[in-house]
Amino acid sequence: MAQEHILNLSRVFGAEQTENLRRSQDLEDRVVELYVTMRPSLLGYAYHVVGSAGDAEDLVQSAFLKLFDQLKRDALIQNLRSWLYRVVHNLAIDYVRRKGSQESTQAEWLALRSLTDSVVSAEHELIQKQRIAGSLKALNERERHCLMLRAEGLSYVEIGDVLGLSPKSVSVYLARGLKKFGGAR
């Protein structure tokens, strides 16, 4: 008797819509799974471009929202890895241009540390980081991006796919970047 009162889902939404909703849920689960797998390496790359962990996380999540839209539309993605890196790269570049620069600074960092704990170790760490940041500064944008993507394990073809370069150019940028980086240290 009671059964009659309970609305049949398909009757309310129509079978097609119910199916769509179910599909969407499955798709969400798949995207979350991919996110868990790919997050650390994408985050590493995004972080180097935008310079803040919070913003990098946000960009990486945005990339996966785009992936969701893309998959939902049944759009073709040939190489998922380079597709994700490309989206993260483009979002990060947009972000940096929009923001004007990386805002993180020595003063802020110091201020923050002094709010928390031992200033002595912080200073040491700071000097170390600053030195590395200086060496990276010697590279141009292309060289830095090529090196960072290679460090994440992408092949030359994939790097070229992300940055819009030929594999040959990638090898040239890598060689030049390594040389400059070594020279700056």
Partner 1 sequence: MNAPGRHLLIPPHLSEDHLIAYLDGELPRPQMDSAGAHLGSCWSCRSRAVEVQAGIDNFMRARAELLPEDSVVSEPRVEQFRQRLARHAIASEAEPPPLQERFEHWRSRFRRPVAAFFAHRQAVLASVVVTCVLVAMFTDSLNTRVSADTVLFRAENYETSHFPEAGKVTRTSVQVERVDHKNNNNVGKQLGTLTIVRDSVSSLVYVSARSASGEAETATVKDVREVAKPLLHVLFSNGQADSSLVQYLSSQQWVPDVSVAEFRQLAAWGIGGEALARRQGGTFELYYPFAPNHPSGIAQTLLRVNAGTYALASLSIFSREDDSEYRFTLTSLSAEPRSTEMARLFAPGESTKGATNPARSLPELSRPVPLSYANSHASEAEVSVADALHRVDACLGEEIYLFPMSDGSLLVQGLVDSSARRDIIRQALKSAAGPLRVEVYVPRELKNGSELYPSPDPSAPEPRGGDSSASATLADLSGATVPLHETLYAHFYKLGSSAEDVNKQVALFSDEIVTLARQTFLHAWALKRLDREFSPERTAGLSAAVLQKVEQIRRDHERWISTITHRQTDMLSPIAGSDVTSGVARAVAGGESSDTLLRLAQEQNDLVRSLFTTSPRTPETATSLTRLMVVLRHLGS
- Tell me which of 70, 90, 136, 142 binds partner 1, using CB under 8 A: 136
Residues 95-134 that bind partner 1 (CB under 8 A): 100-112, 114-117, 126, 128-130, 132-134
**From the CB of 86, what's the least distance to partner 1, in Å?**
19
State the Cα–Cα distance between residues 158 and 79, nearest whole angstrom.
8
**From the CB of 94, what's the least distance to partner 1, in Å?**
16
**Coil, strand or helix at 152:** coil
**Coil, strand or helix at 153:** coil
The values of phi and psi at residue 37, to 5°, are -70, -45
State the Cα–Cα distance between residues 105 and 127, nearest whole angstrom.
13
**From the CB of 163, what's the least distance to partner 1, in Å?**
15
Q: With contact defined as beta carbons under 8 Å apart, do 166 and 55 qualify? A: no
Query: For residues 78 and 117, which CB has a smaller minimum distance to partner 1 in the complex?
Result: 117
Residues 32-91 that bind partner 1 (CB under 8 A): 32, 35-36, 39-40, 44, 47-48, 51-55, 57, 61, 64-65, 68-69, 72-73
Residues 6+ apart with CB under 8 A from 128: none
Query: For residues 78 and 101, which CB has a smaller minimum distance to partner 1 in the complex?
Result: 101
Segment interacting with partner 1, rule: CB under 8 A, options 78-86, 87-95, 135-143 = 135-143
Per-residue b or e along 91-130, where b marks 16 or more CB atoms closer than 10 Å to that residue's CB: bbeebbeeeeeeeeeeeeeeeebeeeeeeeebeeeeeeee
**From the CB of 182, what's the least distance to partner 1, in Å?**
5
String of contacts with partner 1 for each residue 137-176, x by CB under 8 A: x---------xx-xx---xx----------xx--xx-xxx
**From the CB of 87, what's the least distance to partner 1, in Å?**
15
